[in-house]
Amino acid sequence: MLTTEALVKELVEKNGRTRNSLMPVLQGIVQQEHYLSEEALLCVAKELDLAAADVYGTASFYTFLDTVPRGKNIIRVCKTITCHMKGKDEIVNTLSNALKIKVGETTHDKKFTLLTANCLGWCHKGPVMLINDEVYPELTPQKALEIVEEYAKSTH
Amino acid sequence: MSKYLVNLKINNMPIAVEEGTTILEAAKKLNFRIPTLCNHPDLTVAGNCRVCVVEVKGARLLAAACATPVSEGMEVFTNSEKVRVSRKHIVELLLSEHNADCTKCFKNGHCELQDLSSEYRIGDHVFLDLVRPESKIQDISSPSIVKDDSKCIRCQRCVRTCAELQGVSALAVVNKGDHQKISTFLNKPMHEVVCTNCGQCINRCPTGALTERNYIEEVWNALYDPSKFVVVQTAPATRIALGEDLGIPVGERVTGKMVSSLKKLGFNKVLDTDFTADLTIMEEGTELLTRLKRALVDKDEKVVLPMMTSCSPGWIKFQEHMYSDMLENLSTCKSPQQMFGAVAKTYYADKINIKAQDMIVVSIMPCVAKKFECERPEMRDSGYQDVDYVLTTRELAMMIKQAGIDFNKLEEAHYDSILGESSGAAVIFGATGGVMEAALRTAYEIVTGREVPFTNLNIQPVRGMEGIKDATIKIKNVKPEWSFLEGVDLHVAIAHGLANARQLMEKVRKGEAAYHFIEVMGCPGGCLGGGGQPIPTSPEIRKKRTEAIYQEDEDMPIRKSHENPEVVEIYKEFLGEPLSHKSHDLLHTHYKPRKRY
């Protein structure tokens, strides 16, 4: 695996050195490292000749650009009204018990982070969760467990 | 700019203004004041506080006057019922997110939000109090600046100041929605980030979210302590601005009254930083001539040019963070404030028979970075902290009010001697270009034996408010010992405001500019626009202060640093000559690289 510095350099090479490249560079780091470390933010500031506070300002604006360590797989259960009425609490509790973490926490093996999210736009098929970029609609607690187990088994 | 005129009516009064003028500016021309909290004459338009909303006939929504350009036939109402009700609600909404603990606030009585609430007679809280408890923890990590997020209304003047005027961006907007706040990188303490302590953000903050760390109580305690001998020094730019906080119009000089008030406050001796400004010129001028000699005669490849001034502690910290590879360019001279402290607790203490440990040195400065500077570990060459407390011009005004002194009615008094005599060259340290002018007046005369070839010693090319100025002085008919300078064109440059300094540094680094000597002041306009000066500030105010500074110079009997008799005396009795061993011990320093990110 690339060091953070090498990763940032590679992403900057690919996306360019202008301020416009900030978002794709940050997204690229999150894809590889699951979050933006202090080191990563500083590397980006240096490479793009931006103030560190500016880079942090942009990163902190977007929910999907995390600045705290996250697991390899990020589970986001929709918490908004429709999913709530369709039983998102049960989904969250089931996953929380199975993974032995609370919402906002990451498992010891760094494989999963459990989060809630605002409306994912799947109200007609709630409750719904997102694992990384994949949407899983019409969940039941059983179904949610099975999906997460699949991720637990996968090696990558 | 187009000269196309746009006709509109404001509150039924017709007016024609240039295309591109905002409603706010047009209304001002008709003497209608529209309140704003985020707009500022030094900064770009933001339009985020919404306090300036006005009604435009035919428009469905109210418009932000600061961000809406006029258009042909527009009819604007600045005080209709709809405007008044909305504006009052907007202020109430701002207050719902503001820790309105006014009586305990350092900005009490100097707060734009407080003024507006008072104008609109905001009564009971209409909205829920949304101030987050955790935001009430102040960041007091910096010796210069206190940051209190619970007072912040997110107008972003500070963010724009730090980015646009200073090119630093120590502060940025982070998070979103109701979590939005003004923050440093990863919410680190102010002391740990790239903040230069210039305090320009304080000068523009409409509330008490950013204030100077104040040392008023510490200074009172020192004054009340009979075992302490308390001396005070006053920076050049304080004497042309202090009056603004004490009911005197902008641009009026109050030197004599200031001295008088300091004596009434109980300082044992009232002395002048201008004295050490003159001393700085002797040291820095000699340093420049020495560097030139090493470069031109000795062909010493290690000599670093251009030499850069080192009076402005905001600029020094900026350089340590941003251009740490260019620290050798900085003059090794301490700032006049620190030279004063070092000389006061050695030479002066001996002369007046006071032990250095019993002496407290207080500075009155137009600056908040000076508070940081006096705590630097390098600034203890007397064996003690050379300068104990730094007060801003604003803090001094507060002390004068607390003491019940009627400033306006004071008799004028003179500085005590010694360390109180100064020249016109010293007072212009307070304006951008002033150190350069003072240095040239002395260096040119040392080298040629003649006065600088400018009418009445006024070196106009280095004056003015242009962001970066440069000038060339031809050196002719030199004295024999300076023959290597015969016919040399001395190239100098001046920048004020750190964003301009940054541009100049980039030019120097790329080798695009062959200057010998560069003056940089951290704040727009130089010290007269410093972060510790009376609030508000604007280009207009700084212009008036500049005129006052140059007038003060013209009225001084001595106009050149090397003619200051007390400076001549200190060399004769104590220091020997400029750059002597003793000078190096007391008056010179070194710099340390700091993290850029």
Same domain assignment for residues A82 and A18: no
User: Which residues of chain A are within 8 Å of residue B166 when distances are taken between CB atoms?
Assistant: none
Same domain assignment for residues A80 and A138: yes
Q: Identify the pLDDT of residue B561.
A: 97
Classify B306 in phi/psi space as left (phi over 0), alpha (psi -120 to 50) or beta.
Answer: beta
Burial class (CB within 10 angstroms; exposed 0-12, middle 13-18, buried 19+) of B377: exposed
**Joined tokens for residue B117:** 């609430």
Same domain assignment for residues A53 and A119: no
The string of pLDDT tens digits covering residues B349-394 is: 999 999 999 999 999 999 999 999 999 999 999 999 999 999 999 9
Whether the bond into B202 is cis, omega within 30 of 0 = no
Of B120-134, B454-468, B518-532, the one with minimum mean pLDDT is B120-134
How many structural domains compose chain A? Answer: 2
Strands B517-521 and B489-496: parallel
From first CA to last CA, the distance across chain B in angstroms is: 39
Judged against a pLDDT cut of 80, whether residue B585 lies above it is answered with yes
pTM of the entire predicted model: 0.94
Closest Cα in chain A to B181: A57
Q: Quick check: is A48 in a domain?
A: yes
Q: Identify the pLDDT of residue A154.
A: 81
Q: How far is CA B167 from CA A49, B288, B294, B522, B578, in A?
A: 12, 28, 34, 11, 35
Using alpha carbons only, give the angle B358, B361, B363 rounded to the nearest 5 degrees: 165
Residue A45 touches partner B, C-beta closer than 8 Å: yes
pLDDT band at B403 (very low <50, low <70, confident <90, very high): very high
Catalytic residue among B151, B345, B370, B560: B370
What percent of chain B clears pLDDT 90, i.e. is strictly above it?
A: 96
Closest Cα in chain B to A43: B597
Q: Identify the pLDDT of residue B125.
A: 80
Residue B403 touches partner A, C-beta closer than 8 Å: no
Q: Which strand ranges, in their side-by-side order, compose the sheet holding A112-117?
A: A112-117, A73-78, A129-131, A134-136
- Average pLDDT rounded to a whole number, residues B76-103: 96
Residue A39 touches partner B, C-beta closer than 8 Å: no
Residue B375 among the catalytic residues:
no
Same domain assignment for residues A80 and A142: yes
Residue B194 touches partner A, C-beta closer than 8 Å: yes
Residue B378 among the catalytic residues:
yes
Q: Quick check: is A66 in a domain?
A: no
Residue B370 among the catalytic residues:
yes
Judged against a pLDDT cut of 80, whether residue B597 lies above it is answered with no
Q: Identify the pLDDT of residue A155.
A: 62
What percent of chain B clears pLDDT 70, i.e. is strictly above it?
A: 100
Q: Quick check: is A123 in a domain?
A: yes
Same domain assignment for residues A49 and A105: no
Q: Which of B106, B134, B115 is nearest to B202 (CA)?
A: B106
Q: Distance, in angstroms, between B172 CA and closest chain A CA?
A: 6
Inter-residue contact B136 to B208 (CB < 8 Å) = no
Same domain assignment for residues A100 and A143: yes
Inter-residue contact B321 to B594 (CB < 8 Å) = yes
The H or E element containing residue B272 is strand B269-272
Residue A3 touches partner B, C-beta closer than 8 Å: no
Judged against a pLDDT cut of 70, whether residue B69 lies above it is answered with yes
Q: Identify the pLDDT of residue B124.
A: 81
CA B430 to chain CA mean position, Å: 9
Contact B597 A60 (CB under 8 A): no
The string of pLDDT tens digits covering residues A73-124 is: 999 999 999 999 999 999 999 999 999 999 999 999 999 999 999 999 999 9
The string of pLDDT tens digits covering residues B171-224 is: 999 999 989 999 999 999 999 999 999 999 999 999 999 999 999 999 999 999
- Average pLDDT rounded to a whole number, residues B487-515: 95
Judged against a pLDDT cut of 80, whether residue B440 lies above it is answered with yes
Residue B80 among the catalytic residues:
no
Same domain assignment for residues A85 and A142: yes
Q: Quick check: is A67 in a domain?
A: no
Q: Quick check: is A19 in a domain?
A: yes
Same domain assignment for residues A80 and A45: no
Judged against a pLDDT cut of 60, whether residue B1 lies above it is answered with no
Strand partners, B544: none
Q: Which of A91, A52, A111 is nearest to B192 (CA)?
A: A52
Of A38, A46, A54, the CB nearest to B186: A38
Q: Quick check: is A68 in a domain?
A: no
User: Which residues of chain A are within 8 Å of residue B139 when distances are taken between CB atoms?
Assistant: none
- Residue A53's CATH number: 1.10.10
Same domain assignment for residues A83 and A46: no
pLDDT band at B261 (very low <50, low <70, confident <90, very high): very high
Inter-residue contact B35 to B47 (CB < 8 Å) = no
Same domain assignment for residues A99 and A122: yes
Amino acid at B178: D
Q: What is the mean pLDDT of chain B?
A: 96
> Final residue of a domain: which of A20, A38, A61?
A61
User: Which residues of chain A are within 8 Å of residue B184 when distances are taken between CB atoms?
Assistant: 53
Backbone phi and psi for residue B146, each to the nearest 5 degrees, phi listed first: -110, 130
Q: What are the structural domains, with CATH classification, of chain B?
A: 5-92 (3.10.20.740), 125-212 (3.30.70.20), 216-275+337-409 (3.40.50.1780), 288-331+424-539+546-587 (3.40.950.10)
Q: Identify the pLDDT of residue B475.
A: 94
Of B169, B173, B174, the CB nearest to A51: B169
Judged against a pLDDT cut of 70, whether residue B567 lies above it is answered with yes
Residue B312 among the catalytic residues:
no
Closest Cα in chain A to B321: A51
Q: Identify the pLDDT of residue B498.
A: 98
CA B119 to chain CA mean position, Å: 30
Q: Identify the pLDDT of residue B123.
A: 82
Instruction: State the residue range of the domain holding A20.
Output: 4-61
Burial class (CB within 10 angstroms; exposed 0-12, middle 13-18, buried 19+) of B174: buried
Q: How far is CA A79 from CA A93, A118, B470, B594, in A?
A: 12, 6, 62, 45
Contact A67 B176 (CB under 8 A): no
Whether the bond into B536 is cis, omega within 30 of 0 = yes
The string of pLDDT tens digits covering residues B510-563 is: 999 899 999 999 999 999 999 999 999 999 999 999 999 999 999 999 999 999
Same domain assignment for residues A55 and A96: no
Catalytic residue among B55, B283, B373, B395: B373
Same domain assignment for residues A17 and A80: no
pLDDT band at A156 (very low <50, low <70, confident <90, very high): low
Backbone phi and psi for residue B32, each to the nearest 5 degrees, phi listed first: -100, 120
Of B174, B194, B597, the CB nearest to A46: B597
- Residue A108's CATH number: 3.40.30.10
3-state helix, strand, coil in chain A (%, to 5): 50, 10, 35
Contact B172 A57 (CB under 8 A): yes
Q: Quick check: is A145 in a domain?
A: yes
Q: Which of B107, B4, B99, B81 is nearest to B534 (CA)?
A: B107
